[in-house]
Every structure is written in structure tokens, then in C-alpha cells.
Chains A and B, each alone.
Chain A
Amino acid sequence: MATRHKVPGRAPTVAPNEKARVVRTTDSPNCTGACGWLATVVDDVIVDLKPAADYPCQEYNPRGCLRGMSMTHIIYGPDRVHKPLIRAGERGENKWREVGWDEVLDYIADHMKRISKDHGPESMLLFNQVVGTGYVQKGAQVRAAALLGMSFATAYDFNGDISMGFTQTVGIDCVECETRSWAHCKTAILWSSNIFQTRIPDAKFLTTHAKQRNNCQIISIDPRASQTAKGADLWLPVNPGTDGALALSMCQVVLKEGHVDWAFLQKFSDVCTLIRQDTGERLRASDVGEGTEAEFMVWDEGKDALYKLPMDSLKLPEDAKFAFRGQRTVQLSDGAKVSVTPVFELLENEILRDEYAPEHVAKTCDIPADTIRQVAIRYATERPSSIIIGMGVNHRLHGDLTIRAILLLASLVGAHGKPGESVSIYSGQHHFRLDVSPWWFPDGKRPNGVPMHYFVLGQPTGTMNPKIKFPKDGFKALFVSHANPLVTEFSAPMKDAIDRLDLFVVTDFSMTPTCEYADVVLPAPTFWEKLDLVGTSCHPYLQIQQEVVKPQYESRTEMWVQKELLKRIDPELAKQMDYTEEDAIEIMLKGGGKEVEGITLEMLQKGPVRLNVHDPECGLDEQLHEDKLFPPRAYPFPEGAQREFLKTGRMEFYKEEEIYQKMGETVPTYHWAFEHLPVSAQEMPLAIVTPHSKWRVHSTHCNNPFLRNLNRKPVVEINPKDAAMRGIKDGEAVEVFNEFGSYELWALVTEAIKPGVVCVDHGWWDRYLGAGKYHSVHTYQKVKPTHEVYYLPAVYAPGQHWKDTRVDIRRVK
């Protein structure tokens, strides 16, 4: 309802109902909430926003949050880029020449032609943020990159949102249930997940639905009493970086107390496969002359003989009774004898170590042993039970191990795949809800995938996967779109990498710190000014994002820019970009796979349409309900592309590859998060956590004047004990520092954070700090070799360890 009324006096005026049109659209920033909104437009100005509240499944209504509600102040906000800009000073000097589109496109095209000729097209790298939030427009950029043979770095792995623990265990980088499924929980563990801030539209499923209807107990594991702790029945202020020990200790409890779901493990996991003592690898059917190398053997106790696991389905014979324990000797087809042990026994040996006894872990994690026991038992017995994992667990070098341990805990008790039972990580809208290949990859042509890590490092690591083609002369051009990599924790090495480039082009609607460092800035429409197709893992509705108003100022859609660029570079190739947004949507709906079968553009224009998925979606539905082999398919990759890193087709708690053996990570184990840092860094007294802020979506909205009115300046949360030791008072200017650098902001002395931990919301632009660079204290780029054994962009790729940083704080004098 457009607010054209005067503020009511004695008799409020009647609505001036002039030429207002109301448009139903979808907000799709990187929170990946994909909420439906109604925008009221008068004279081509958006004058009001209200949640659309039109989801056929009533429980989802209304969706929306304060950021969506403030979008007008981004669309018309003070930092909008109005015109194309070409740098007129040094990089970062912020001196610009405003130019027309023709000039800027010619400029970029000329550079691209030259770079491509001198160094090959793969030396030009596209890095666009969360492609899942806009299949059409961001897809157009990928399509053009594919046509030109450029390199493409998926943002998801560089963000660290890729959850390698999931990939290693279930063969896909994240699994999520639709949030409506939370409503069924009786026990919900929020493992460093702060849903009251990060999943605002969805939090009600726990706080209202599950709690009020089911008396759900909400357990928050987090070093700070986050906003979510308000709704939690139990808060466990864990020592940062020790979550892995906690998870393994809980595994020990459920194992010792006999809460193991053997049937679940036997059918859905690899725990009965046999590990050869000589090679440390699984016993294959080919080893014993019973089949191929891609088939695996277990020991059937009923028949007292080897049994070959089916590889076409997870279905097992009724009388299957596989061995979980016991070393046996088997004869190989070449006559040799080897000793083999079921994976379960190896897991058990690890889990039952004294080190993971609650009494021992109590010290590591600073959580009482009894509490560890209670929580583990409650999780195992008060069902349905869910775990929601947050990024505090994942953004760590050993985050994969922690997640493997958490998945093991859930599998031990069989808490997967039912309403209210899942392990979910809403780590990004990476999961395409349909196969976007027909639009993204013309005639199957894909761009050259390279993890952004190697761009930042400037060279491959010694262990880089041989599948990755690092450009022979290194990278010469970088195209960043809707991403702000100079406001992430690794901005310092990122800047160095940019300094090595001939051309750095940034596309955005706001003049971000990344734009400020660019050679060329292209003004983009916000996601309220262009047509797109949007999906999310939070809910199973496919939606249209509308061009509510035409692209503002001189901004142009990504689709238009790519067409125009290609025309200038290669008119022949440009023909393959000759589509409208509607065409692109139709192409994707037609070739998008079974999830979108029967869904048309027409239906989507009328409102959200539910995908053809289970109801409710619990995650891993096809595996657990239809006996399809793991992993769930990761779009846009073909069926079977993930098999090489999940060979057994079951949840794998044992990784057999040489590097896992070498690093002692075949089974989930615990490493202190900071163990890989130099001693000097380890000795810094404070761990720093950098959660998402409710005032922003990462760094988007940081400059939203509406939200800045409430969130005035960056603070560092610090416990009164730590503050007193340093003579810091609430509200004072302080400096966060370590050997890498420092920055200044203001102290918020609060009892809601654990001593020894400080907290700064991530995504602050440097200009709001007292001084320094937000990212300057964060640790250096590093790649975990186990993440390099295979490569499938954004599915099996190196993760990130932003949170493995330690700091100290002092007053600013």
C-alpha cells in the first residue's frame, strides 16, 4: 500500500490511488532467502514494499526481513553507481572519468582481444557472486565466459561456504531441508548457527511452530549468546575451534549408551565396507574376483562370507546382516591373503579414545561433561532431532573434520531424512534447483574452472589437482560481478593478486571498496530492476524476480552488457547470446530436469511455484526414501560427475585416498582449529569470531542509510573480564591487532560473550572503521591438500579458514 496519506490527523485522508501499480517480485541477495515482495510503483518510483505473503503453503507466509524492507534505500541510495567509470588515477585513488557505454565497452573489448591474443582467453577470469541467486543474468556472464573460453572461479568455494565435510561424506557440498521441516523438531541443535539473524524469515519454524506445538528444545552451541540464544533452551558457550572434539565426544556417548541405529548404518553408510590392512583402501570386488573395481565388499555374518554391495540401489536383502566389527583374513584372487577390518571398527577405535571422553572434552571445550552427555542423549532419544550447522564451524581449515564428525553423530542415531530430522547447512544458494546447463553452457561448452584460491596465491600449489588448468602466463584480467572480495578476510593477498593484473573490471550497483580499486566500474541494476529466475534451498519455491522499475540511472543488465561485449569481440559468437531473459528462463525450464518438469514461465509469472520435490523436503530424500545411491546430484554437473569422490555410493565415514591416509584423516578426528598457525599466532590471547550481521547481507546494505541509522558503528564484543584486564571501557575506541595488521573500532563490553573470545560482525566496509582495514588481521591463504584430490567446481574444491584467526585488543590512545 503506497503511503500517500498524510499522517492522520483528526480525519485521515483517503488513499490517493493514482496510477499505482503493484508488482510481485523476489528479493534475491546473497542471504539466499528469496523472499516474495510486493512493490508499489508510482511514476516509476518504488514507493512502498510489503511482504507478498502469497506462498501456497501458508506456513511460509510472510517471508521477509528488515533488509528487504530497506531495499528502497539501496536502489535510491547514496552510493549507487550511476555511470560507467574508467579509472583516471592510480588503482584505489578513487579518481574517475565518467564515460558512455560505447566507450567503456570498446575499452574493455579492446583489452580483452589483446589479452586473449597474447596470453590466451583462459588468462581472463570471471568471478561472480552466488550464481544461484540469479540463474539468468549471472548465467549470461558465465555463458559469455564459456563462449570466449575464459576461466571461471566459483565464489562459493572461495567464500569458504563450500562444506567439504559434506562433500567428503555425502558427495555433495551441502544438504538442506526446507525450513518448514524444522517445525517437526523435538530437539534442534544450532551448531554455531544464528538463525535469528541469518534466517529471519525461517526462524519461526523453530521458535513458534516446533516450540509451541512440539515443545522443541533448542540448543545453541556458540561462544557468544548470539541473538539466537534468546530463543534457546540451552546455551553451550564452547571454546572456539573445539567443536570437533565436542561432536566426537557426543558420538562416544551415543555409542557407549547404546543408541546406535544399526539398520540405518548398514544400509546408508560405508561402515560395513572392509578396509585392507596392507593398502588402507577398501576391499573391492575386483580384489577377490567377484566383480569390478567400482564394487565393494562387506562381510555377511549370516552367510559367513563376503558379500558384494549392490551398486544400482541402496536396497539390501531382508536378511542382510553385515559385520560391523572384527578383523578377518580374506584371500585375494591372486592367492595372497590380506587382513581386512570393517570401517565401523576403525571409527569405533577413534571415537572411543580417552581423548573424546566427556570428562576430557569438558576441558577442551569448556562444557561440563554431564552436559555433553545430556545433550548427546537428548539428541539421540528425543526425536525428531535436527542439527543446523553455521559457518563458525565450517570456515576453518579443519572445518571439514568437524562436519564429518557431526554427520557421523547424526548417522549413528539415524537422524536423517525425516520431517524434523536432518543435518542442514544453509551455506549458500549454491545448490541450483534445476539444471542450468542449457542456458549456461552453450552446446555443452563450459568455461575453464579454476578455484579463486590459486588466483589469490598467484600460482598453483604443489598439490593442485591436475585437472585444473592454470593459465600458462598467469591471470591477466579479472571480472568481478556483484562481489566484494576486498571486504572479505583475505583482501590483502587479493589486492596483491589484483596488482598483478592488466585489467580489473567490477560490475556492481553500489560503489563498494572493490569498485574503488577497479580499472573499470560498470553500473549494474539492483535485483529489483531486472528479470531473473530465482531458487533457494530455504524453501522449495521457484520464483521470478521482476523488473519492478527499469534499470536505474545508466545501469544496464548483465545480459545486455554481455551481448554488447561479445558483438565487439566476436560478432559470430555474439549470435549465441541473442536471447531475451524470457528465452533464457524458458530454455532452463525446458532442459532443467525433473524438478521443473511441467513448470512454465506463465505459471511463474503468476506467483511462486513449488518444485517437484518431496514434501516436506528433508534433504537426501531420494537416497533415504527411494534407495538411490548417494550422492544427490549437484547441478549443473552431469549425473555421475561426483562418483569419483564417493565411490561406494554410500555416506562415507572412511576416506581411503593416499593423502587422507598421510594426513591421518581417513576417519573423522579432531584437530585444534589453530594448530596450523605459526606459534606466534597461536599465542595471541583472543579468538575472533566474525558472524553475519542482521544489518547486512555480507557486505551488502553496509551503506544502506536506513539500516545505518540503527547500526551506527562497528563494535567489537568483548567480555568484561577481558576488557578490564586491558583497561577497556564500554564504548571506547579500541584496536584489534595481531602480527598481520590492525584496525580500530569501538568496544561493546558484554556478558554475552565468552571470555577469551571477541566478536566483530563481518562485512563492514573500511570507511566505517575508526582506522585500518577490517581484513588486515586475518590469517594468510592456505589450501588443505585433502581438498585437492579431486576437483568439481564448488562441489569438491578447497574451502576456506577465515575464522582461524587470533588477535589481541588494546585501547586507542
Chain B
Amino acid sequence: MLIDLTRCIGCDACTLACKQENGTPYDTFFARVLNVEAGTYPDVKRVYIPVLCNHCDDAPCLKSCPNKAIVRRPDGIVLVDQDRCRGTGACVSACPYGNIILHREEEGWYLDENEAYEKDFVKLRMKENVARKCTYCAHRVDQGLQPACVVACPTTARIFGDLEDPESDVSTYIEEQKEQTGRSPFHLLPEAETKPAGCYLGTMAEQRPSTLGQSDGIGDAKQEEAQRTQRGQK
């Protein structure tokens, strides 16, 4: 999955779409959005970084599991087998991204316990006290559908597909963006060397956000020219 950070507006629709699809309990979020503020007033920037399991090619979580409960499907999706997991928790510490969730306390839920929505449709889905994480909505993918967070993203910032298939949505998007905006995908924490399948596109070259027009975000021709010379001199 590729996430275009320029498109993302930090709206959390993905987070909630995941919860709606996967019926996760209280405090369990497979798809999160980090809301980062940087700088000092008035030179402040905001960044949103949606995070979820990266379905790493070389997944430390998988290697760490003593029960062999974590598997990587031929299509690359990494899954925790609920039936084999014993809640050991080794994977939780092994994942450098903090993407595996294991609650050992009693599960918290949202609705009145008699509400059919949770009682009959949600709670049955998951075993308690086992490790859980994003599945790339494998059950949807198997039906030829896109993951829930992808179809819910109102800005189409999330692009899903097979990175190895040059015809897939994600490969075409990467190519197109390389050509049009000169951007190439990157991974979070490359130093972890997990070969993540989840990747990101950053801001566009010409985007130079600023406050008060004091830096170089906007301006008349003269100012832009001055900047060009400045950059040339550097």
C-alpha cells in the first residue's frame, strides 16, 4: 500500500473505516494517523502520517513468534493466525513499527451488551487475548475488493495493489507520480531493514509551506527570482 502524504488530510476516515470493517474492540486501532506538529510559532508545520502494518517482506514479527502463528501469504500479506496465537507477545516487541496489538486485560467494547450489532456481529469475530494487527483486509482482497481504509479515504491518498505487477493501481500511480511530480516512494524506518510493503510519497518539490510569507512559500516574481539566485549560489 502506498500513502501519498500530500493528499492525506489527516481526517481519520481510514481509522474508523478499519474499525467498522474489522470490528476491533476499544483502544484497538489497526490503522492510525499520527498527527505531528513541528516548529515554533509562527513557523509551525503540521504533518499527518497514516500508519498500519507494513506487511514486511522480511518481517521480524513473523520470525519472533515461538508458535509459528504469523504467516506470510504468497501475495505478501502477513497475517496472525488467531487459532495458533497463544498471546505470547514476542511479536509485539519485535515489530519496529508498533503495529501489533495485544491486550491482556478484559476486552473493552463500545455498545450496550444487548445491542445486536456488537453481540451478534462483532464480538464473534475475534479471539480474546491474542495478537492482532492489520490484515490488509485479506478477506476483502480475496473477493477482489480493496481494503476498507482504501475505499473510505475521501482524498484517495491510499493506493493499494501488487507492487510486483507493473499494471496494478499502485505501480501505475508510482510511475505517474515519478513523471509528473518527480517523487519516489520511501519507507518509514528504513534502518529496520524489514523490507516493508507499505510505502509513502512525500511533499512535492514545489511545495514550500511558510508562515507570514517570510520564508519562500509564496511571492511575487522578484522574490522568486531572488530565491532562485540564492539557491544557485548555494
B residues engaging A (CB < 8 A)?
Answer: 6-7, 9-13, 15-17, 19-23, 26-27, 29, 37, 39-42, 44-48, 71, 79, 81-84, 110-112, 115-118, 120-121, 125-127, 132, 135, 138-140, 142-143, 145, 148, 151-156, 180-181, 204, 206-214, 217-220, 223
Give every chain A residue within 8 A of B112 (Cβ-Cβ): 76, 78
Pair B117/A230 contact, Cβ less than 8 Å: no
Q: How far is the CA of A186 from the CA of B206 in the complex (A)?
A: 14
Pair B111/A76 contact, Cβ less than 8 Å: yes
Query: Apart from A15-B139, A47-B117, A754-B41, what 11 extra A-B contacts exist at CB < 8 Å?
Result: A3-B139, A7-B82, A9-B79, A62-B152, A62-B154, A70-B16, A203-B9, A211-B204, A217-B217, A235-B212, A236-B211
A interface, size bucket: 35 or more
Find A73's partner among B22, B111, B223 (CB 8 Å cutoff): B111
Pair A73/B110 contact, Cβ less than 8 Å: yes
Q: How far is the CA of A53 from the CA of B217 in the complex (A)?
A: 35
Q: How far is the CA of A64 from the CA of B150 in the complex (A)?
A: 12
A233's closest neighbor in chain B, by CB?
Answer: B217
Pair A237/B211 contact, Cβ less than 8 Å: yes
Give every chain B residue within 8 A of A769 (Cβ-Cβ): none
Find A207's partner among B7, B13, B148, B152 (CB 8 Å cutoff): B7
Provide the A36-59 mask, 1 if CB < 8 A to any CB of B, else 0: 000000110111111101000000
Q: How far is the CA of A76 from the CA of B23 in the complex (A)?
A: 14
Pair B41/A753 contact, Cβ less than 8 Å: yes
Pair A225/B46 contact, Cβ less than 8 Å: yes
* Complex interface residues of chain A between 536 and 565 (CB less than 8 A to chain B): none
B11's closest neighbor in chain A, by CB?
Answer: A200
Find B20's partner among A9, A62, A69 (CB 8 Å cutoff): A69
Pair B218/A234 contact, Cβ less than 8 Å: yes
CB A712 to nearest CB in B, in angstroms, measures 10
B39's closest neighbor in chain A, by CB?
Answer: A751
CB A241 to nearest CB in B, in angstroms, measures 18
A754's closest neighbor in chain B, by CB?
Answer: B41
Find B116's partner among A45, A208, A211, A754 (CB 8 Å cutoff): A45
Provide the A343-377 mask, 1 if CB < 8 A to any CB of B, else 0: 00000000000000000000000011011001101
Provide the A203-235 mask, 1 if CB < 8 A to any CB of B, else 0: 110011001100101010000010111111111
Pair B212/A371 contact, Cβ less than 8 Å: yes
Give every chain B residue within 8 A of A116 (Cβ-Cβ): none
Q: Which of B116, B118, B223 has the most CB of A within 10 A?
A: B116
* Complex interface residues of chain A between 668 and 707 (CB less than 8 A to chain B): 694, 705-707
Pair B154/A204 contact, Cβ less than 8 Å: yes
Pair A368/B21 contact, Cβ less than 8 Å: no
Pair B13/A64 contact, Cβ less than 8 Å: yes
Pair B12/A694 contact, Cβ less than 8 Å: yes
Pair A208/B156 contact, Cβ less than 8 Å: yes
Contacts A/B (CB < 8 Å), 9 sampled? A45-B116, A45-B120, A62-B153, A64-B152, A196-B9, A212-B180, A215-B206, A719-B41, A753-B41
Give every chain A residue within 8 A of B212 (Cβ-Cβ): 234-237, 367-368, 371
Give every chain A residue within 8 A of B223 (Cβ-Cβ): 374
Is A472 an interface position by the 8 A CB rule? Answer: no
CB A1 to nearest CB in B, in angstroms, measures 6
Q: How far is the CA of A231 from the CA of B210 in the complex (A)?
A: 11
Is A755 an interface position by the 8 A CB rule? Answer: yes
Find A12's partner among B132, B138, B181 (CB 8 Å cutoff): B138
Give every chain B residue within 8 A of A367 (Cβ-Cβ): 212
Pair A752/B117 contact, Cβ less than 8 Å: no
Pair B10/A230 contact, Cβ less than 8 Å: yes
Give every chain B residue within 8 A of A396 (Cβ-Cβ): none
Is A636 an interface position by the 8 A CB rule? Answer: no
Give every chain B residue within 8 A of A53 (Cβ-Cβ): 151
B181's closest neighbor in chain A, by CB?
Answer: A212
CB B6 to nearest CB in A, in angstroms, measures 7
Give every chain A residue within 8 A of B23 (Cβ-Cβ): 3
Find A705's partner among B45, B111, B125 (CB 8 Å cutoff): B111
Provide the A1-36 mask, 1 if CB < 8 A to any CB of B, else 0: 111111111101101000000000000000000000
Is A88 an interface position by the 8 A CB rule? Answer: no
Find B218's partner among A66, A374, A755 (CB 8 Å cutoff): A374
